[in-house]
Amino acid sequence: MRVELKNIGKKYEGRENFTIRGVDLVIEDQEFCVILGPSGCGKSTLLRMIAGLNSITEGELLFDGKLMNKVPPKDRDIAMVFQSYALYPHMSVYENMAFSLAMRKESKKLIDERVREAADVLQISEYLYSKPSDISGGQRQRVALGRAMVRKPKVFLMDEPLSNLDAKLREHMRIELVRLHKSLDTTTIYVTHDQTEAMTMASKIILLDQGKIQQVGKPEEFYNRPENLFVAGFIGSPTMNILKGEIRGGSFQSLDRSLNIKPSQEDYELLKGYENKEVYLGIRSERFLPDKEGSLEVLVEVIEMLGKEKLLYTKLGEHSFIISVPGHSQYEEGKKYKFSPDKGALHFFDGESKERIN
């Protein structure tokens, strides 16, 4: 099912400002779309509006072109999975998963098929006859997912469904959810504040901040071409190195004049209008190239070994840079090394509007 939001806004009663404002969005049929953003930005509010659990203050919500604003949740053909799943404690895992289908008077055969199929995918078959109190939190979370799956809805709405799981299980479930989505092809809208989840699972990411969309696109677009400074700082780990400065004589110069970085010819053309104006320069940690002739001579203060890569926490005068290098390369704390920024990978942002320039 295709989900469309037209200029959607939400103002909670008693609140002075809109929590969500001017959200325009199309989620295509069968897409896996992730709504990402920092805590309190309005992700759950938006999802709950799509579910029908929150009223819509302004704008239109359309499912396959049909206006849904006033349609009650049970008639929307959606299934929602929450972070705080509430399983019926007196029912077995099987009964919990079967519950919604039983309420709809589906046949025992169909219910059994669906429950077993979901349990198999979620690897909880051996707990079907346990009570929720007798299984782990992670297993309970999977029962909650299974409960939504058995209904075969037109849209899955998931609000941070993995956040209670430990890191390993979360990684496993991420892949399982993507596989599940591939086999079911159900439109999925998934809310998280975890950019790794968004980057690894989404076919489309929607990044929200303070109730407004900052960028919509594919994960690689977010990483390679963040549209504004907020997106640049939010996506990527370690965080992108960001410097404030000016364009002087076609080059980027830090405000204290200690750094001079020459852009590529292509960027130079786009920066012509910024002569003597403030801009931000962003460089990802892996875009520093070791270079004996390099213009950036940095002092390595701390080295963090992550396995396949090392993070160098460095200083150049007043400036700090995080530089990533292959895990097997040799660097020592307290020593200086020269690097050149990869010219083809510089991100420039307008000093005032904070929008991307190049």
- Tell me which residue has its CB nearest to Mg ion: 44
Site for ligand ATP in 2-21 (CB under 6 A): 12, 15, 19
Pick one of 8, 27, 41, 87: the residue that binds ligand ATP (CB under 6 A). Answer: 41
Nearer to ligand ATP, 13 or 352 (CB): 13
The DSSP code sequence of 162-222 is TTTS-HHHHHHHHHHHHHHHHHH--EEEEEES-HHHHHHH-SEEEEEETTEEEEEE-HHHH
What's the rounded Cα separation, in Å, for the pair 38 and 49?
19
Nearer to ligand ATP, 37 or 146 (CB): 37
Specify burial of residue 220 (Cβ count, 10 A radius: 0-12, 13-18, 19+). Answer: exposed
In whole angstroms, how far apart are CA 188 and each of 80, 121, 129, 212? 10, 17, 29, 21
- Does 214 bind ligand ATP (CB under 6 A)? Our answer is no
Specify burial of residue 58 (Cβ count, 10 A radius: 0-12, 13-18, 19+). Answer: middle
Residue 347 interacting entry, from Mg ion, ligand ATP, none, C-beta within 5 to 8 Å by type? none
Site for ligand ATP in 55-114 (CB under 6 A): none
Task: Give least dist CB 35 to ligand ATP, A.
Answer: 8
Task: Give least dist CB 181 to ligand ATP, A.
Answer: 22
Determine the interface stretch with Mg ion among 44-52, 216-224, 306-314, 350-358 (rule: CB under 5 A). 44-52
- Does 45 bind Mg ion (CB under 5 A)? Our answer is no
Task: Give least dist CB 98 to ligand ATP, A.
Answer: 30
Task: Give least dist CB 254 to ligand ATP, A.
Answer: 35
Nearer to ligand ATP, 10 or 114 (CB): 10
What's the rounded Cα separation, in Å, for the pair 331 and 328?
10
Q: Which of 148, 196, 134, 150 is nearest to 170 (CA)?
A: 196
Determine the interface stretch with Mg ion among 42-50, 142-150, 171-179, 264-272 (rule: CB under 5 A). 42-50
Asked if the bond preceding 153 is cis, omega within 30° of 0, the reply is no
Site for ligand ATP in 175-194 (CB under 6 A): 193
Determine the interface stretch with ligand ATP among 34-42, 103-111, 216-224, 272-280 (rule: CB under 6 A). 34-42
* 294 contacts 283 by C-beta, under 8 angstroms: no
- Does 44 bind Mg ion (CB under 5 A)? Our answer is yes
Q: What angle do CA 79, 82, 84 make, to 5 degrees?
A: 145
Question: Helix, strand or coil for residue 299?
Answer: strand
Size of the site for Mg ion (CB under 5 A): 1
Task: Give least dist CB 28 to Mg ion, A.
Answer: 24
What's the rounded Cα separation, in Å, for the pair 332 and 184?
51
- Does 40 bind ligand ATP (CB under 6 A)? Our answer is yes
What's the rounded Cα separation, in Å, for the pair 249 and 253?
9
* 182 contacts 218 by C-beta, under 8 angstroms: no
Question: Helix, strand or coil for residue 346?
Answer: coil
The neighbouring-strand residues paired with 8 are 23
Task: Give least dist CB 148 to Mg ion, A.
Answer: 17
Pick one of 31, 34, 43, 247: the residue that binds ligand ATP (CB under 6 A). Answer: 43
Report the sign of the C-alpha dihedral through residues 31, 37, 41, 43, in that order.
positive
- Does 331 bind ligand ATP (CB under 6 A)? Our answer is no
Nearer to ligand ATP, 12 or 99 (CB): 12
Pick one of 3, 5, 42, 243: the residue that binds ligand ATP (CB under 6 A). Answer: 42
Which residues contact Mg ion (rule: CB under 5 A)? 44
Which residues contact ligand ATP (rule: CB under 6 A)? 12, 15, 19, 37, 39-45, 193
